[in-house]
A and B are shown apart, each in its own frame.
Chain A
Amino acid sequence: MTSATRVLAVAGNTVREAIRNRVLYTLVAFAVVLIGASVVLSNLSYVEQGRILQDIAFASARLFGVAIAIAVGINLIYREVDRRTIYTILAKPISRCEFLLGKYLGLVATVWLQVLVMGAAFAAVSLVDGRPFGWPHAGALGLLGMELAVVVAVATLFSSFTTPTLAALFTTGVWIAGNLTRDLRRLAEQTQVEEIVGVARVLHQVLPDLAMFNLGLKASHGLPIAPGAEVVLPVAYALAYVAALLLLASLIFQRRDFR
């Protein structure tokens, strides 16, 4: 029996748990309602109602996506330890690394399913209002999925050694900072103070550069998107960043005692 079977068993169980959790349904339903409400909100504007509709819909999907990713990610390990279900799982021939990877993949699959539902609502609202919905929009939603995969990995890392409350605070902090580091670096470079530029550069390199995943504005404005630099590169970056975070989480998790 392969390692993949064990990882997929844990991932499948994680998805099943999420699917049977009513709180997540409520969150997704609320996001879908808000995306639908963008039709009403955009009518409050005199100009570019269609673009504003897509901006609001995309921002709703993004905010709820991040909220769901953090909500599920922070409990990733904690709940298994707190309820002691991890004891019987790790007593089977599965390594801690395989368990962690399975949990992560299960949660990413859950979050992606939710992005799919929110994306369908986004497409429906756009089509009903006569706005275009094409590859740029699908690409922007796909990159939102990659951003959420990074957020879940950050939550996994914190979840591997701290409580859900602290993990939620840290993950939210990293998400906010990750969306600002690019601008922060540009601002710092304008000061031309070597120390400030150095600190901003380190922050930009260590924290995830989440701004690169935000293609929503470009898609809703109908601006051209470069497939290589704006889609393939962020996907590769997300995969590398997630791998590094999971490796770190795995090293921490490996050393933990389950008392």
Chain B
Amino acid sequence: MKAREIVRVENVVKDFRPGFGLRRKRVLDGITLAVREGEIFGFVGPNGAGKTTTLKVLLGLIRASSGSARILGHDVRETAFRRHIGFLPENPYFHEFLTGREFLRFYARLAGLARRGREPRIGELLGWVGLAEAGDARLRTYSKGMLQRLGIAQALVHDPKVVFLDEPMSGLDPLGRKDIRDLILRLRDEGKTVFMNTHILPDVEMLCDRVAIIVRGRVRWEGRIEDFLADGAEPESDVVLARLSPELAGRLDERFGGALRGLGERVELRVPHKEVEGVVGAALGSGAELVSVTPHRASLEAIFLSAVDQGQKEGR
């Protein structure tokens, strides 16, 4: 059964006027996308492509010039439905005069959390994001990673159904990035829908179920990562062999069109999946040693760059 749509954006256009009398600049040029329940959706694009503007339209911070955007069936210009959404902005800056606990209490009140449930929820969340001991310290003493984790706690304080994250890993060290990745995966485990803006492709490959690529204000591709990577290409594998005889190496290279690469004493050969068994059998029969067989995935980066290239050509 197809999961229900949580976010639906249709043909959203946004024009900005840089100043009085200046020509309008089109930042979003007919964005259309859909996010389904329970998935981690990656909204990917180069800097300035329109990712954050789209997110701000969804959160009601910017009004679309035309088109429609709905979350959980509600027009994003409404207010009340926002009790079901959480948001972490890019490089969040919070009221640094507050302590972590006061900060979450403030957002809990804004989100309409009943007084009785507030304190237990705040304690639970501080523990969840690993800030239980820093809860009574002022935010000006927090590191960037701690602020990011507190920002996620703020986004979750009212137990929303959908969470929007804008570049959640931006500017974090490897440890901080891992913490945030783990938190995002936990959100999915808890049944939340996550909409994540990012330009860090390895994070997308690691976390996202579905992806949309935006270039120059337009969605160029939208779908499941697996489909994305397999799009049109025959699946291949990388076979690594050691002690391969020069004669067999020559024959394999000829047969697979120069696909053989030397790796010191080893060689690597990229062959179609259906040929793997034959190649490995021949190699072992000739006295070679099998080191590894790895299914090859087209890199998301290559496809991303091709989408950017296509977008730029169309923009000219």
Contact = CB atoms under 8 A, between A and B. Distances in A.
Nearest to A91: B87
Interface in A7-38: 9-10, 12-13, 16-17, 20-21
B128 to A, nearest CB: 18
B154 interface: yes
Interface in A92-143: 92-95
Interface stretch (B93-101, B215-223, B273-281, B290-298): B93-101
Interface in B80-139: 80-83, 85-89, 92-95, 97-98, 102, 106-107, 109-114
B97 A20 contact: yes
A83 B93 contact: yes
Contact of B62 (A5, A12, A88, A257): A257
A90 interface: yes
B154 A257 contact: no
Interface stretch (B53-61, B186-194, B236-244, B246-254): B53-61
B143 interface: no
Given A9-B106, A87-B89, A258-B62, A93 B95 contact: no
B16 interface: yes
Contacts of B56: 87, 257-259
A257 B154 CA distance: 23
B107 A1 contact: no
Contacts, number: 86
A85 B94 contact: yes
A163 B107 CA distance: 27
A143 B59 CA distance: 41
Contact of A259 (B60, B62, B80, B106): B62
Nearest to A83: B93
Interface residues of B, number: 38
A210 to B, nearest CB: 32
Contacts of B89: 84, 87-88
Contacts of A83: 93
Nearest to A87: B89
B109 A5 contact: yes
B233 to A, nearest CB: 40
Contacts of B164: 91
A89 interface: yes
Contacts of B112: 1, 5-6, 93
Nearest to B80: A93
Contacts of A6: 109-110, 112
B63 interface: yes
Contacts of B113: 1
Nearest to B106: A13
B208 to A, nearest CB: 22
Interface residues of A, number: 27
Interface in A211-259: 255, 257-259
Given A13-B95, A17-B97, A85-B95, A90 B109 contact: no
Given A1-B114, A6-B112, A94-B110, A87 B59 contact: yes
A91 B82 contact: yes
Contacts of A94: 79, 110
A84 B59 CA distance: 14
Contact of B110 (A20, A87, A89, A259): A89
B61 A257 contact: yes
Residue in B61, B63, B158 whose Cβ sees the most chain A Cβ within 10 Å: B61
A17 B89 CA distance: 22
A84 B16 CA distance: 19
Residue in A13, A87, A88 whose Cβ sees the most chain B Cβ within 10 Å: A88
Contacts of A88: 87-89, 92, 94, 107, 151, 154-155
Nearest to B102: A16
Contacts of A258: 56, 61-62
Interface of A: 1, 5-6, 9-10, 12-13, 16-17, 20-21, 83-85, 87-95, 255, 257-259
27 contacts: A5-B112, A10-B110, A12-B106, A16-B97, A16-B98, A17-B95, A85-B93, A85-B95, A87-B59, A87-B87, A88-B88, A88-B94, A88-B154, A91-B59, A91-B82, A91-B85, A91-B86, A91-B87, A92-B82, A92-B83, A92-B107, A93-B83, A93-B111, A93-B112, A94-B79, A259-B53, A259-B62
**10 closest A-B pairs (Cβ-Cβ)?**
A1-B112, A91-B87, A9-B109, A92-B110, A93-B82, A258-B61, A20-B97, A257-B62, A93-B83, A87-B89
Given A1-B114, A6-B110, A91-B85, 14 more contacts: A1-B113, A10-B110, A12-B106, A16-B97, A84-B92, A84-B93, A85-B93, A87-B87, A88-B92, A91-B86, A91-B87, A92-B111, A94-B110, A258-B56
